[in-house]
Chain A
Amino acid sequence: MSEQSTSPGADKGPDTGAVENTVAPTTDTVRVETAAAETERDTGGGLMSGSFGRNIGLVLALLLICAAGVITAGDRFASIDNSLTILRFAATIGVVSIGMTFVVTGGGFDLSVGAILALASVWSTTFATQNMAEDTHWILMVFAALAVGAGCGLVNGVVIAYGKVVPFITTLAMLAAARGLAEIISERRTQIVRNEGFKDFFSADVAGVPLIVVIFVLVSAGGWVLLNRTTFGRRTLAVGGNPEAARLAGINVNRHTVMLYVLVGLCCGLAALMLIGRTSTGSSTHGDQYELDAIAAVVIGGTLLSGGRGTIVGTVLGVLIFSTLSNVFTLNNQDTSTQAVAKGLIIVVAVLLQQRLARRATTT
């Protein structure tokens, strides 16, 4: 009944039923209402400055890590080659993290991103797929990876939205199943890409910038527009903040949830292609623990794990913070175990700071 509204993004809904009129005003108000508690009473401008303030904190953290890099490694850190190394490393996880931002903003959660990436990388590099690609065009491998990603996302979404299974369990099941299927298909062997066209395309540079970095930039920009400037983005915030209010406002919450999981699945498929390009292989071990990296980046970026607030800029900064940190550790001969400890500390400190900021915002 309430799912009838044709365009929830429209300014007013005078023709909606009497019931909705009392509970669900314009979608704009839904958005403000559902945006995290601390900014509730702020005006639109306040909301902007709030997220701006958060991002300043992240930029400062990034600058701090860069300063540490310059002090400890000097020119070895502050060079164009090294910057590109950081960005190439960040690109794959970055694309996954953008997708994750949408799901988390929409009140969901996805543990299966790494496994979906592995399955997509395996599927698009099987002997059969590669043979077909040889006969036609390598773009077929691209379609295969994207289709597998979207397909897994669709399954996740349908089970969560219509089966009413909590996202944690659904995507945990997908994590196990997708990686298992990837192992079955590849027989746990690494599949090597033979198609030169594919390899050349994905290892190409665009004006000196590696293509995978360009893809990361494009996906980030596209994600920002989608989240902040479209009806889809507003619905995502509404669904994540208060699904019941969103439903009453005329948003088809179930369908929207499915779309969010398909979106993150597509991002995994794309990331799989980027990783195939980088390694020239597909393997069931690709994307190991990317779910944790992506969730970490999303959380320190300032997206609320409970949904209703999301920031693409924050996520991008989060990804850059972790990949720069990893680079500084490598340059300084530190092992990855120390790095994991540092990563854990950063996550906790970032979330503690966010909560403090949030409390201050509500009290003033």
Chain B
Amino acid sequence: MRLRTTTQRQQSRRYPGLVVGAVAVLALTACTGSAEDAADDDGGDSTPVAAAGSNDEEGDMVTIGFSAPAADHGWMGAITENVRDLAEQYPDIDLQIAEGTNDVNLQISQVETFINDEVDAIVLLPFDGAAMTPIALEAMEAGIPVINVDREFDDPNAARVTVLGDNYGMGVSAGQYMCEQFGDKPDAVIAEIAGIDSLPLTQDRSQGFEDALAECDLEVSNRVAADFTVEGGEEEAAKLLQAAPKIDGLWNHDDDQGVGVLAAIENAGRDEFVMVGGAGSANAMREIQDDSGVLKATVIYPSTQGADGVKLARLLLQQKAMSDLDEVEVPRTIQLYAPVVTSDNVDQYIDSAFES
């Protein structure tokens, strides 16, 4: 059911970072950007961006409930911020935000409140997908479509639309970038600083990285796992640098923890390697733009997912289709693409990056 197909993956192998990805995603990015952005985007060999279609015309008033975990990470903060910004752009969206909790009990009661209020749709980024499944099912049974964002429910019937990032794809994109840099250097030392190791998303990212590296006969020689925080990143990077006196390529899964990783690299006075980030914070992109440090690239995990969810909810409720597809219904699952950002294309992405 995923929109992302192998052909796209092959394409992206040839043009990492340039192909903007699935058609679905295209439509979304086209809608997210304002008119000026669209004009800016329209450069070089990137796929032409569709003009704002009739889908943006004001339709029936729709009430959408939105709930997400606590903003204890720059990315999560950006999710809610993007949702708020989006709702302001559309006069026909009445957004009910119940944001910021890591307590599933509270998040369930927030969704119950939405059901009691008879909102038209619920956009839900669950703290824990499985734990929020029963209440999402309840909402669906009450006739309220649920748009599941980022962390999947464990029952496909619990959501009408699912918007996901591509964790495996992040690893693949990072690995392919490494292959481009060191493909002709079979003894290159590749290091990896992962996020919280026991999370499935971290495992997916590492798997993708490993698989992509294997394509060009490279492998990860040194690997540590941090915890998505600045302190954790600093600590683990310091250990890694101690353990590996010479590194060629380093992939750090997360730009928030990357602030700490860069601090540790600075402290150790190392600059012999190329570093790739993850998630795509504005901070990291500014580093890439400067092109003075070790950070040369980052892989995006879009923080527009929540906003995309709200937008899809609006289309769904106003019975509009995604105008760039022939299909007349809003798709079931949309997986966003994980492009590589380098100094060549950073201008294209920096405006939509999140502040950590």
A binds B: yes
Q: Is B49 an interface residue (CB 8 A)?
A: no
Contacts of A285 in B (CB 8 A): 102, 104, 127-128
For the complex, is A39 an interface residue (Cβ under 8 Å from B)?
no
B97 and A335 within 8 A (CB): yes
CA distance A188 to B128 in the complex (A): 11
- What is the chain A residue whose CB lies nearest that of B112? A85
> Which of the residues A85, A188, A288 comes within 8 Å of B109, measured between beta carbons?
A85
CB of A286 closer than 8 Å to a CB of B: yes
A187-B198, A285-B127, A335-B97 given as contacts; is B110 within 8 A of A279 (CB)?
no
Our pick among A190, A283, A330 for the contact of B110 (Cβ within 8 Å) is A330
Complex contacts, B196 vs chain A, CB 8 Å = 188
Give the residue name and chain of the A residue nearest to B70 (CB). A336
Decide if B131 is an interface residue (CB 8 Å cutoff): yes
| B200 interface contact, C-beta 8 A | yes
A81-B116, A85-B112 as given contacts; A289 in contact with B130, CB under 8 Å: no
**Are A281 and B128 within 8 A (Cβ)?**
yes
Select the residue from B103, B127, B130, B154 with max chain A CB neighbours within 10 A: B103
Count residues of chain A with CB under 8 A from any CB of chain B.
Answer: 37
- Across-interface contacts of B200 in A (CB, < 8 A): 189
CB neighbours of B98 from chain A (8 A): 330, 333
Residue from B99, B100, B198 in contact with A183 in the complex, judged by beta carbons closer than 8 Å: B198
Query: Separation in Å of the A245 CB from the closest CB of chain B?
Result: 40
Q: Of B105, B110, B113, B130, which one neighbours A275 at CB under 8 angstroms?
A: B105
Q: How far is the CB of B51 from chain A (nearest CB, A)?
A: 33
Complex partner residue of A280 from B96, B99, B130, CB under 8 angstroms: B130
Residues of A within 8 A of B128 (CB): 190, 279, 281, 283, 285
Q: Is the CB of A288 within 8 A of B103?
A: yes
Taking the complex as formed, is A175 at the interface, i.e. its CB lies under 8 A from any CB of chain B? no
Cα–Cα distance between A92 and B117 once the two chains are bound (Å): 23
Q: Mark A253-281, 1 if CB is under 8 A from B, else 0.
A: 00000000000000000000001001111
Structural contact, A335 and B131, CB atoms closer than 8 A: no
Known: A190-B131, A279-B131, A331-B113. A326 touches B198 (CB 8 A): no
- At the interface, yes or no: B1 with Cβ under 8 Å from chain A? no
A247 sits at the interface (CB 8 A)? no
C-beta contact mask, B125-161 vs A, less than 8 Å → 1, else 0?
Answer: 0011111111000000000000000000010000000
Interface: B101 (CB within 8 A): yes
CA distance A76 to B96 in the complex (A): 13
B105/A281 in contact, CB under 8 A:
no
B108 at the binding interface (Cβ < 8 Å): yes
Q: Which residues of B contact A283 (CB under 8 A)?
A: 104, 128, 130-131
11 more contacts with CB within 8 A, not counting A89-B109, A283-B131, are: A85-B109, A89-B105, A183-B198, A199-B134, A279-B104, A279-B132, A283-B128, A330-B109, A330-B110, A335-B100, A336-B100
What are 30 A-to-B residue pairs whose CB atoms are below 8 Å?
Answer: A76-B116, A81-B116, A88-B109, A89-B108, A89-B109, A189-B198, A189-B200, A190-B129, A275-B104, A275-B105, A279-B128, A279-B130, A279-B131, A280-B130, A281-B128, A283-B130, A283-B131, A285-B102, A285-B104, A285-B127, A323-B109, A330-B98, A330-B109, A330-B110, A330-B113, A333-B98, A335-B97, A336-B99, A336-B100, A337-B100
